Structure 1
């Protein structure tokens, strides 16, 4: 038998052989570590976001109600705009609320707290503020200084709506481009502050689902400056009007007069070139109550007489569902729940655990970033939030 070592080293000195194989071994180790690091990063992807809005305009917020461990982001609503600067209309209680919200990070250090500017009531001054480069920069400086002062994690802009009247607001055609320029100015100043304090700061918007909103904005361009686009996928208008409809149907209904749906809205955004990982699906934690005309025998296709009002999910569950006076129904086509009281002819369109499951599955299938809900106090017992957490795993 030949000496194996002499065969191996034939034509190559021993020192050179060891150097070559050590080098090869090092390459294999680097490749092994790299592949496993990549696998680990894939397995430990950040979860879907769960963004909740908490309303401060009614006074001090009950912090015991909030479960920070079940949230990724909490948007405090709302700040106003005055003289092209961010403004707290109820400063006495707002400041206390913001400080108390920051204390929630003791339970969840990863929780992001944002100040939301605007909303349905405070959107009147957006168009004037966004009109010029000077006024946009003045607002951006004031808003980012606000973020730093109250140790927040970013801004949420809820302009309802650029180029459209909303609640009778000032609006102009230039809003379309100015909205994009406003977001650009905000993002640039947030990035400067973030670099200075070594912290990633977030910029989001609340966005309407309608074609009108997309026609009056440049969302394809604006998304470059946004971390998330919170789609207000609720309060759909009945089309044609005058008959019962769902406030937030996932799919078009075969039985209710509503040609609007969440699926149609999301697809509209995707066709505009909006990246799915920036889109967050909004879910209502409340419902609408309507009075149906007295000759209606069921809620399906019934003519509406008047709007009675809105109720939070907790109230709907306790005072309506548990009363035994309302019949609970599911539109299995639209994936929407509703109630009907045949005695007083009331129809209630609302969100529940069943409908939420379908929405969560849909957004995950579409690769959306996660969910947003309005508004925290409407689910005091945390029933819907618990379902969101279960489905987002």
Structure 2
């Protein structure tokens, strides 16, 4: 069978590493380590041989042998004597409910050598006694046996998620993602931070994800020379600051310069990337100044090598270098305050840009300043009140230095805190200088995560888009991404620069939830550090979704997925142990991508790439943007769509659908005045009296109401939307005595956000027959739509052509843009009028209307000539400057029909390539194409151009 499970014909052919002979219906689809591992302990080296589709018993494999080679392109001798291991028998293959067949073979320890890298080949026989072979299809399909003491997975295999409260799972990453076809109308970006430590315990390799998945990949982190670790500390006083010190000393870098604190991981590890460079001394020990001088894009290994490989595979990807982070930001407040140190900082980045290039341009196309946090301090606690001002000064030095070195196209970004306190610490004026439309930053990575964690007093949400992250009494403050974005834009930040953060990791704590979906009401909160993957209380995404979520993401191993309906946030909770984890799920990741799209942001990004579980987060984001998923090795596009529509087990289908469609409640009803008593969240829609009563609201219960900006709540006296009514468009602490007693039904509507942005005035243009009106619509996100409207003589009247233009604008189907006259119901329709047609669109949309310099100068009418087979049509095109173009069009019998020869003439005119002259029919986009018609082909050219046709 082929990859689609279809039977193959009775002849020999090779496809995807599989040899089929004599009508064989089986195949080896994959040879992989258990759990898709490539490195496994030498004493427990288990290989799975898989046929993804077994449709009959005779297709099951009954004999399999494995062989190894040190080169994936060199076939070993496939004899019984040379086999690593063989298995045979009618029942060696198990077949699951999906039809996938699997045989597991354990390679004897005696056949393996510790740390030897090799490739596996296979021979097999099925129940039809058909023999065939398998060969690896690429150089990345290697295997490696490691010593037993190197085994990282033993603790993982023994970990009991169902009953454990504390400990470390030590799981390895599970990397994959779907290649995409970018939506041509999508300008939104997907980004992700990639940690330099991911390659160690997590065993992550960048090559495991599709090169097209991310628009931006940010390497994290480089340190800064002179790191003192803490406020009042000394250089080299902690493990990390010591590593920075050693790197600076070995490379001879001054204070303020940026350096890798892990030369091995950044530049030398072959496990990450091996260019096959012959000078092996580059990869031994700490780099020296001499080795650093020799290192370049052609010989570097490590994570830098992986990034260079990615850039060569996808030249469009933006690769960034991030400096600082939570543990390496201490020097910033001193470097930014010193012009000398700031210049050292900038000069060292110029050196990196010069040193590592791909295609004569720098590997790094953006530089990310991750200062945690100006004016507030991060792990170091080091800050000054002047940090905000100095942050601007540092970036100004960097920008000027880049420009002076011909790097005007290198972008500057910054990862910024997303709480009110962090934003206010930098300040309004400084944020405008940094993030305004003409600001120093090209993009802003909003760290809208870590809002909540084990450090808090209760349970909460660590990366919520809407609502509250924690209870109001929490010491960390109530935050949300939406709240942070609104504050930043009020400071003058251009929201088209903002990248919205998605957490690929969970933060956890222990407590007792009394009501499903209400984590703020939890009791018995403990100070116990709940289990994590490589760090207490932090479970990485691949670990949670691989071991606690189940195949449908709704829960496994004692955990269930729950959704906080009020705050539109998800969490996993084990009722037996009280262990609770807050994380972004595919649903909330897609919701954030939609929010970015709807609100004109730059895009979304993840912390971190290696924490994603088989690409479910990045694939969910790409799908939400309208990019086409081609499918990964792990999940189909349909499965990803299903994941993004999965809510917690506590919600009904109706409630989940409401969240998916609305993104959050739009109205809250309260029992008491001043927003007290019980609260009922509602979404856009209509609620009868019986529906309100089912939610707990009776006709004398409504006392106060909150209404989200952009919405209207209309309350009615009667339960069927009749009687008196009253509208609320803002938060109201007391609805009124009468309203309190009589409210029985309610409608919630989105306000009409379209405004008049352009009058299509009939007297503004004076078109004549044959002319073209050119319309340009520029949306608030900068996307431009060019529309061409050819006018016949009929449509040239001042009350007609505006109608034609309005129809053409509507025909293009631009989202939230309509043209015509709006009636009382909000419907917009074109009308024959010189002054009643408007363009309705969101504020900030611009529309221009003008006559094109190109007009219809000739109609190629089928009845004008009557050619016969063998005739020649002579075409003369004379431009306004007097230049004449003579074109001969031979006409065969086929082309003599009145609806055919005009098309032939139009094609010949276009083939002549006369500047600004085209022939055919013009569509609304201004494109001209010849068409089989006796009257729809025209010659479009500047005024003053003449065209004549004659038979020869």
**Coarse TM-score class (shorter-chain normalised):** 0.7 to 0.9
Please state whether the residue corresponding to 1:248 is helix, strand or coil: coil
Deviation track 1:272-323 (CA, whole Å, cap 9, x = no partner) reads 1100111110111111121115x85756311331342111222111211223
1:98 aligns with 2:304: yes
The answer on 1:179 being equivalent to 2:391 is yes
The match for 2:862 is none
Structure 1 residues 221 and 207: CA distance shift in structure 2, 3 A: same
Moved more, 147-156 or 274-283: 147-156
Number of aligned positions between the proteins: 346
- Residue among 61, 69, 74 paired with 2:217: 74
SS of residue matched to 1:236: coil
Distance 1:153 1:87, change over 3 A: same
**Aligned match of 1:342:** 575
Contact 2:545-2:613 within 8 A present in 1 as well: no
1:108 paired with 2:314, answer yes
Counterpart in the other structure of 2:419: 210
- Which residue of the partner structure matches residue 232 of structure 1? 447
For residue 493 of structure 2, what is the aligned residue in structure 1? 274
Pick aligned residue for 1:386 from 594, 602, 619: 619
User: Where does residue 540 of structure 2 map in the other structure?
Assistant: 312
The reply on whether 1:88 has 2:231 as its aligned counterpart is: no
Root-mean-square deviation (Å) = 2.3
Return the offset for 1:165. 2.1
Q: Distance in 2 between matches of 1:165 and 1:312?
A: 26
Q: Is the partner of 1:327 in helix, strand or coil?
A: strand
Specify the SS of the correspondent of 1:144.
helix
Assess if the C-alpha contact under 8 Å between 1:128 and 1:170 holds in 2.
no
Contact 2:327–2:380, Cα closer than 8 Å, also in 1: no
Partner of 2:549, secondary structure, is helix
Retained in 1: the 8 A contact 2:505–2:541? Answer: yes
The equivalent of 2:197 in structure 1 is 57
- Give 1:256 deviation, angstroms: 6.1
1:364 aligns with 2:608: no
Q: Secondary structure at the match of 1:389?
A: helix
Structure 2 counterpart of 1:8: none
Residue pair 1:251, 1:333 contacting (<8 A) in 2 also: no
Offset from partner CA, 1:199-228 (integer Å, 9 cap, x none) = 721210000012222222211111211110
Q: Alignment partner of 1:358: what SS?
A: helix
Counterpart of 1:136 (choices 299, 321, 342) is 342
Q: Which moved more, 1:61-70 or 1:179-188?
A: 61-70
Residues in 2 aligned to 1:160 and 1:378: alpha-carbon distance in whole angstroms: 21
Equivalent in the alignment of 1:193? 405
Deviations along 1:234-257, one digit per CA (max 9) or x if unpaired, are 11148x952211111111159966
Distance in 2, Cα, partners of 1:184 & 1:159? 15
Q: Give the TM-score normalised by structure 1.
A: 0.82
Cα deviation 1:19-77 (Å, max 9, x = unaligned):
xxxxxxxxxxxxxxxxxxxxxxxx96662111110000354651222322011111000
- 1:329-356, CA deviations, whole angstroms, 9 ceiling, x for partnerless residues? 1123322111111100111111111112
Alignment counterpart, residue 265 of structure 1, candidates 477, 484, 495: 484
Q: Which is worse superposed, 242-251 or 146-155?
A: 146-155
Cα distance in 2 for residues equivalent to 1:237 and 1:349: 8
Partners in 1 of 2:623 and 2:471 — Cα distance? Answer: 30
Decide which structure has greater strand share: 2
Q: Is the 8 A contact 1:328 1:338 kept in 2?
A: yes
Verify the 8 A CA contact 1:156 1:204 in the aligned structure 2.
Answer: yes
Alpha carbons of structure 1 residues 249 and 204: separation in structure 2 relative to 1, 3 Å? same
Residue 237 to residue 254, structure 1, CA distance change in 2 (3 Å)? closer
Q: Return the offset for 1:172.
A: 1.3
Alignment of 1:217-256 (within 5 A): 217=426, 218-223=430-435, 224-237=439-452, 241-253=456-468
1:163 to 372, 375, 378: 375
**Residues in 1 aligned to 2:585 and 2:208: alpha-carbon distance in whole angstroms:** 19
Pair 1:297–1:263, CA change in 2 (3 A) = closer
TM-score normalised to structure 2 length: 0.35
Structure 1 residues not aligned, in runs of 5+: 1-42
**Measured at CA, do residues 237 and 312 of structure 1 come closer, stay the same or move farther in structure 2, by a change above 3 Å?**
closer
Task: Tell me which moved more, 247-256 or 262-271.
Answer: 247-256
Partner of 1:19: none
Does the 8 Å CA contact 1:254/1:333 hold for their aligned counterparts? Answer: no
For structure 2, the residue ranges without an aligned partner over 5 or more in a row are 1-182, 226-254, 268-301, 358-363, 531-536, 551-555, 627-952
Q: Distance in 1 between matches of 2:322 and 2:396?
A: 17
SS of equivalent to 1:283? strand
* Residues 147-200 of structure 1, C-alpha deviations (whole Å, 9 max, x = no match): 2212321211100011222112421122111100111111222233345xxx72
Distance 1:373 1:50 in 2: 8
Task: Give the 3 Å change call, closer, same or farther, for CA 110–193 of structure 1 in structure 2.
Answer: farther
In structure 2, distance between residues paired with 1:333 and 1:148: 51
Matched residue SS, 2:422? helix
Using the alignment, how far apart are the partners of 1:192 and 1:45 within structure 2? Answer: 35
Secondary structure at 1:204 match in 2: strand
CA contact (8 A) 1:297 1:342 kept: no
Spell out, residue by residue over 1:117-136, the C-alpha distance to the aligned partner (whole angstroms, 9 max, x if none).
Answer: 00001001111111111111
Which structure ranks higher in relative contact order (CA pairs < 8 Å, sequence separation ≥ 6)? 1
Moved more, 278-287 or 206-215: 206-215
Distance 1:150 1:46, change over 3 A: farther
